[in-house]
Amino acid sequence: MATSATLLATAACSAGSSADDPVGGPSGAPDGGGEGLVVGLTAEPANLDFTTTDGAAIPEALLVNVYEGLVKLDQDSGEVVPLLAESWEVSEDGRTYDFTLQEGVTFSDGEEFTAEDAKFSIERVKSDAWTVSLKSGMDVVDTVEAVSPTELRVTLSEPSNDWLFRMTTRIGAMFSESGVDDLQSTAVGTGPYEVTEWDNSGTLELTARDDYWGEAPGVGQVTLQYFEDATATTNALLSGGIDVVGTVQAPETLAQFEGDDRFQVIEGTTNGEVVLSMNGAAGPLQDVRVRQAVRHAIDHQALLDTAWAGRGELIGSMVPPTDPWYEDLTGVAPYDPDRARQLLQEAGAQDVSLRMRIANLPYAVASAQVVQSQLADVGITAEIEPLEFPARWLEDVFTNADYDLSIVAHVEPRDISAFGNPDYYFRYDDPQVQDLLAQADRGTPEEQVTDLQQAARRISEQAAADWLFLLPNLIVAEADVQGLPENRIGESFDLTTLSRG
């Protein structure tokens, strides 16, 4: 979700500074590590447990950096590449995966990582210990066998085009059986960093491990500092309080950094769809014509220009251009206020009033104000209610579906599958879409592309939601920071590539 409603982000501790006085930061690094960095982010995690807490904030901070999987996603190519598994083979029928694991890997508590830990981790996702919606990606797993300490065999109940890709997300994270007793406040992983300070007060400190099995990261200590206010984030960078703005929350501020030799501005893409969610199981939006009217009432280019300074991309579906089955579906519901009014009249929907309960994040608040104005032009009243994110938004909107409209960025990769789950907070229930998604997963790669394109078009035509725009990857940093990602198409902000020139 975004929630992944988000999607979304999370963390906390102390770097000797505050939002009002954002100076200070890590003063050093362990032996063998590089100079420290402070990265400014938004939407702080409520805890450290992404197995029971939805949203993208926790995996943004911890996945790849603290918790590793057998595989990970290459941010440049979008390909699945080895991590804790040095290689793997797939049987001819596509059901059996034989992984050869890296040797000499240890968890941050000193315990050795073996195939038994991988077996434990995969089976745990299928148990009641995991509660987040993404766990369904492991449903296709039938059996897991630790053949030897470095050999793991996973057998699926049926071929799946999607399963290995899902292993790059949080559900593929490897845990130690002795390290899961207090996941909300303690993170024990095999990654290059460990959490050395965190108290849910605005910063989270990661320190490079001396005993990491792989190549040491270029930065010995990274502090993630969380800001609710875009101005405070900008001021922190200008004053030297932070080194990197990892997620620019006010694109109009970029002008003051562009052309300044002290800073660099990176603009790439993400898979973060800013979704205008519609509750398909309650209120006026149960009627497809009302949902379609909402889509036709929105001038998406004007919204992007107004709310996000024209930065980003219009997409028209839950499929970003980095996915193999992308099609430009912006023409399915073009801006047409007259058509919106006609659809409302056909539906007998007069004096429609909707509760727009949104995440209290800058892009959502700015977008909501434009949506509210444009809906008013066709006779729909939308009352905006910002909800604290992630905790209250996740509880009221994502969990309880107590809303009519909402706005949040869905940042999980390949998340069109959310529309196949009628219990997901969209409350969208369409058997044809469910069948297409299931067929796509078990068919040939060519059939997968065709089926997912058909599913995306039907979802768009039925106005199961509206896709306001695709978030760009906007980063501002001091000029000597190297290794920043141009694109972010996975859940993690990979800190392992960073260094200082």
The tokens 């206010």 sit on which residue? 229
The tokens 């980063």 sit on which residue? 475
pTM, to two decimals: 0.86
The CA distance from 343 to 334, in Å, is 14
Task: Tell whether the model's pLDDT for residue 412 goes beyond 90.
Answer: no
Provide mean pLDDT across the span 71-85.
91
Task: Tell whether the model's pLDDT for residue 228 goes beyond 90.
Answer: no
Question: What angle (nearest 5°) sits at the alpha carbon of residue 272, between those of residues 268 and 278?
Answer: 150
3-state helix, strand, coil split of the chain in percent (to 5) is: 30, 25, 50
Secondary element (H or E) of residue 439: helix 431-442
Q: How many CA atoms lie within 13 A of 425 on its CB side?
A: 29
Record the tokens describing residue 202, joined without a space.
Answer: 């605005």
pLDDT-wise least confident of 7-11, 185-189, 294-298, 366-370: 7-11
Q: How many CA atoms lie within 13 A of 209 on its CB side?
A: 23
- Please report the pLDDT score of residue 5 as a whole number: 35
Confidence of residue 25 (pLDDT cuts 50, 70, 90): very low
Confidence of residue 283 (pLDDT cuts 50, 70, 90): very high
- Please report the pLDDT score of residue 24 as a whole number: 29
Q: For the chain, give the percent of residues with pLDDT over 70.
A: 93
- Please report the pLDDT score of residue 75 as a whole number: 82
- Whether 440 contacts 447, CB under 8 Å: yes
Tens of pLDDT, residues 131-184: 998 999 999 999 999 999 999 999 999 999 999 999 999 999 999 999 999 999
- Whether 500 contacts 481, CB under 8 Å: yes
Task: Tell whether the model's pLDDT for residue 223 goes beyond 90.
Answer: yes
Task: Tell whether the model's pLDDT for residue 34 goes beyond 70.
Answer: no
- Please report the pLDDT score of residue 43 as a whole number: 79
- Please report the pLDDT score of residue 55 as a whole number: 85
The CA distance from 175 to 68, in Å, is 9
Kindly report the average pLDDT of the chain as a whole number: 92
Amino acid at 143: T
Tens of pLDDT, residues 452-470: 999 999 999 999 999 999 9
Provide mean pLDDT across the span 206-213.
98
Task: State how beta strands 352-359 and 244-245 pair.
Answer: unpaired
User: Which residue intervals of 26-167 are DSSP H helices?
Assistant: 57-62, 115-125, 163-166
Task: Tell whether the model's pLDDT for residue 95 goes beyond 70.
Answer: yes
The tokens 């797993």 sit on which residue? 141
- Please report the pLDDT score of residue 490 as a whole number: 87
Task: State how beta strands 244-245 and 37-41 pair.
Answer: parallel
Ranges of beta strands (E only) in 91-246 are 96-101, 141-148, 151-156, 193-198, 203-208, 221-226, 244-245
- Whether 496 contacts 66, CB under 8 Å: no
Question: How does DSSP assign 470-497, residue by residue?
Answer: EEEEEEEEETTEE---S-B-SS----TT
The CA distance from 339 to 297, in Å, is 8
The tokens 């954002």 sit on which residue? 22
Closest CA to 76 of 381, 500, 494, 382: 494
How many beta carbons lie within 10 A of that of residue 210, not counting itself? 11
Distances (CA, A) of 26 to 16, 191, 282, 395: 8, 20, 49, 34
Record the tokens describing residue 2, joined without a space.
Answer: 């975004």
- Whether 48 contacts 96, CB under 8 Å: no
Provide mean pLDDT across the span 46-62.
94
Task: Tell whether the model's pLDDT for residue 97 goes beyond 80.
Answer: yes
Please give the domain boundaries of the chain with CATH numbers for all domains.
Answer: 68-172 (3.90.76.10), 270-471 (3.10.105.10)
Task: Tell whether the model's pLDDT for residue 98 goes beyond 90.
Answer: yes
Closest CA to 56 of 470, 475, 365, 488: 488
Tens of pLDDT, residues 244-275: 999 998 999 999 999 999 999 999 999 999 99
Q: First-to-last CA distance in the chain? A: 36
Q: For the chain, give the percent of residues with pLDDT over 90.
A: 86
Helix (H, G, I), strand (E, B) or coil at 398: helix
